[in-house]
Chain A
Amino acid sequence: MLPELGQFSLILAFCLSIILGTLPLIGAHRNNVLWMSLARPLSAGVFVFLGISIVILTYAFASDDFSVQFVALHSNSALPLQYKLTAVWGGHEGSFLLWTFMLAGWMLAVAIFSKSMPIDFVARVLGVLGILCSGYILFMLATSNPFDRIVPLPPLDGTDLNSMLQDFAFIIHPPTLYMGYVGFSVVFSFAIAALLSGKLDAAWARWCRPWANVAWAILTIGIAVGSWWAYYELGWGGWWAWDPVENPPLITWLFGTALIHSLAVTEKRGVFKSWTVLLAILAFAGSLMGTFITRSGLLTSVHAFASDPSRGFFILAILGITVGGSLLLYAIRAPLMKREFGFDLLSREVFLLINNVILVVASASIFLGTLFPMIYQALTDDLISIGPPYFNSIFAPLMMLLVLFLGIGPMSRWKRTSTAYLLQQLGKVALASVAIGVLLPLLVLLEFSLAATVSIALAAWVVLSIGKDVSNRIVNKPTPIQGLRALSLSYYGMQAAHLGVAVMLVGIGLTSYFSVEKSVLLEQGQSIVLAGYDFVFIGSSAVNGPNFIGEEAEISVLKAGVEIEVLHPQRRIYTASGSPSTEMDIDAGLLRDLFITLGEEKQAGAWSMTIYVKPFIRWVWLGAIFMVFGATLAAGDKRYRRLRQRRSERARQPVAADLQPAI
């Protein structure tokens, strides 16, 4: 009975979102305040009913209701409770419900935190979100209903959750990824609302920025957690595989990164307005494209979601209608917004423009590489593989170029910067970075390596130019503390995120070139030396879990004769599905990770295993943490709150839709 209630609740949410997608929009068009003011309560209603649905589905998992097909396919009575709960997003139907619920969550957040915005704007934003929401729910009801029953003969037990998904990172990866993805729908709705009303001004950019920053930060977490998961779960030390399913989040992320930079220019200088709107549409298109690729089985990948052409067709229709429609709207409305201000060749505007060009080119290139196998197959009827070697050789140079400009951008001034000023400010920084890049690896490794030099030099370039910029800003203040206090949160946010780029760069550069690995066959008591560590195989024992059986090896790690860690890699067989799984053990450290993957018992007592030493791998995710921290700081800048107070006074006056920029 309960699952039917869940489905009923889903239908109610659909009805409400249909109303949300129509009445407030019409109201905004006709200046009908009553209809516009329906937007907030309707959003809350959609949230509540989707919430009821997802709670009921979760309960079906918790109570082992295998008559629900989705539960039967993704759970098992022996599955530990925490994985039963997260199995809700362990398959297509449930994860789409989660996705839609996230969208409703964002809608509710907009409804609550929009008191300062004019009601017509709120009505338009929520109306657009309502249209999206009704599209998603319709998709669920039509092609992927999580509440479908198996009648009349429900199975006695479920087929179990994919063993790779029975993991902590999987508890957080999909929700954060979806949350970030869907967050860009909010920014998209802001853009569409601006196009509809024709009011695209600095105030709009100000409303938009915190939302864009938060969505971007959450997407960053989602991608980073996914990469971390791949690192320790797939078991061969890879942390980014350029998989067709990994790429769309990155494409969205790159568009999003371009967007938050372009929004900064739009807010501060009133330029790049139509470009900013286009980026908001592209970032959203990227997120939908990601869904399309994952759900349609269009491209084969390790993330094998059940694929079904009818689903792909439906998502393609949503994609075509929303993106096509918004691009059409953009084409009609954007020319009306060309009221821009001038700037010089050497100006922060131009550096941010370069930033945007590089990010968009990188994004487009990944898009090309991701879809090319399909283009190729359509044209030649043959298959082609495009993998890491291709993407790395395209992406790395673009990112290096980006980092070069990253050093200059924050240092340059709006409108116009003189060459002499930039040279004076950054000349020494550049020399020092090159010197550090050449000398540091040389001193530590006693050998020259181009890869290490380039990554260290670029990281030094970012760090030193940040230092220089900060010191410039506080030098005129009576004391450094006062100077630091005078800097805005959003400035700190920007620099923290940029520092994150440097940290990530060091991580990627060093771990890619200095990781070592060795596959060995060890008998009890035997040891092997790798990168200055002794790995001694102590022995193996059986280890059984609630839903798996397996074996565990014990390896003692010594450095200079002193034991620093004992590692216990495992090899498991999940009993319900019979699928094998390797559980590596990792000794994580800021400077290096040691990790061991257990192979199999080749002869009695002799196990094969692969030992990896990966320097600086943690810095890849540490950099992401800096970025998230930075974006969060920037979103919390008090000028957004000040603005709210000012707007709330102004909002009482009737709003005139005009095409004039407000500054």
Chain B
Amino acid sequence: MKIAAASKKSLVLSLTLLVLMGLSTHLTQVSAQVDTFQFDTDEQQERFRRLSNELRCPMCQNTNLTGSTGGVAEDLRREIHRMIMEGMTDQGIEQFMFDRYGDFIFYRPRLRAETVLLWFGPLIFLIIGGFVAYRIFRRARALGEKTITLDESEQERLRALLGNKQ
């Protein structure tokens, strides 16, 4: 019984292995790619570096174009180089990528209705955090006023700092 289960498992395992090995073009090894593109100016090289860092290698698990070897990543880097050399703007290149790969290719998600939560979430957290901190502080100050006596000028300043009409 146990042996049967185990051999079934090993069958599944070897099938999995077969598929994994077969799909090797999809499980690209993550390792640096070395290109030898020529640029006219340092500014072009810098733009190339920024774009290949901010665009995702579509077929990889989670790496940018800079960090992946072979396949479509290599072709995309070549395309970026070509477009830079042809004088296209960063915006134009990004649009080119968007038309073919959609939002998936950008590591910096564009601000749209669906990503408002993403971009403004941290701000909302900060406001909530500030509000909670303020409430903790107000309670603590209420306790503090019982034990510490503030002189008039200090209380004045405190109110001014808080903008509180207590």
Contact = CB atoms under 8 A, between A and B. Distances in A.
Given A361-B126, A368-B121, A342 B141 contact: yes
Interface in B67-102: 67, 69, 102
Contacts of B54: 387-389
A602 B69 CA distance: 15
A304 interface: yes
Interface centre among A275, A300, A387 (most CB of B within 10 A): A387
Contacts of A271: 140
A421 to B, nearest CB: 12
Interface string B1-27: 001001101100100010000000001
Interface in A235-275: 235-236, 238, 241, 243-244, 271-272, 275
Interface in A348-378: 349-350, 353-354, 356-358, 360-361, 364-365, 368-369, 372, 376
B147 A342 contact: yes
A155 to B, nearest CB: 9
B59 to A, nearest CB: 11
Given A152-B7, A301-B61, A340-B139, A235 B108 contact: no
A392 to B, nearest CB: 9
A324 B18 CA distance: 41
Nearest to A150: B10
Given A152-B7, A302-B30, A344 B144 contact: yes
A300 B144 contact: no
Contact of A340 (B104, B143, B154): B143
Contact of A238 (B3, B29, B67): B67
Interface string B95-117: 00000001111111100001101
B153 to A, nearest CB: 11
B36 A342 contact: no
A149 interface: yes
B44 interface: no
A415 B148 contact: yes
B98 to A, nearest CB: 12
Contact of A579 (B29, B133, B158): B29
A153 interface: yes
Contacts, number: 198
Contacts of A602: 36
B62 A243 contact: yes
Q: Contact size class for A?
A: 35 or more
Contacts of B7: 151-153
Summarize A's interface: helix, strand, loop or mixed: mixed
A380 B114 contact: yes
A387 B158 contact: no
Nearest to B60: A302
A600 interface: yes
B107 A608 contact: no
B125 A149 contact: no
Contacts of B152: none
Interface in B122-145: 122, 125-126, 129-130, 132-133, 136-137, 139-145
B64 A387 contact: yes
Interface centre among A235, A272, A301, A521 (most CB of B within 10 A): A235
A529 interface: no
A394 interface: yes
Contacts of B118: 368-369, 372, 386, 390
Contacts of A238: 67
A357 B140 contact: no
A304 B61 contact: yes
Nearest to B48: A519
B130 A357 contact: yes
Contacts of A598: 34
Contact of A608 (B29, B35, B132, B144): B35
Interface string A139-173: 00000000011111100000100011000000000
A164 B125 CA distance: 37
Contact of A385 (B35, B104, B142): B104
B106 A385 contact: yes
B58 to A, nearest CB: 9
B137 A353 contact: yes
A332 interface: no
A151 B62 contact: no
Contact of A390 (B27, B29, B109, B132): B109
A346 to B, nearest CB: 8
A564 interface: no
25 contacts: A69-B13, A150-B10, A151-B3, A235-B31, A235-B67, A236-B32, A238-B67, A302-B62, A341-B140, A342-B146, A344-B141, A344-B148, A345-B161, A353-B133, A357-B132, A358-B129, A368-B118, A380-B114, A384-B115, A387-B54, A389-B108, A415-B148, A416-B148, A519-B34, A584-B32
Interface of A: 69, 73, 148-153, 159, 163-164, 234-236, 238, 241, 243-244, 271-272, 275, 299-302, 304, 340-345, 349-350, 353-354, 356-358, 360-361, 364-365, 368-369, 372, 376, 379-380, 382-390, 393-394, 398, 415-416, 418-419, 517, 519-521, 579-582, 584, 597-600, 602, 608-610
Interface of B: 3, 6-7, 9-10, 13, 17, 27, 29-37, 49, 53-54, 56, 61-64, 66-67, 69, 102-109, 114-115, 117-118, 121-122, 125-126, 129-130, 132-133, 136-137, 139-148, 154, 157-158, 161-162
Given A387-B107, A584-B32, 20 more contacts: A69-B13, A150-B6, A150-B9, A241-B62, A300-B62, A342-B142, A342-B143, A343-B141, A344-B144, A360-B129, A361-B125, A365-B122, A369-B118, A376-B114, A385-B109, A390-B107, A393-B108, A415-B148, A418-B154, A600-B34
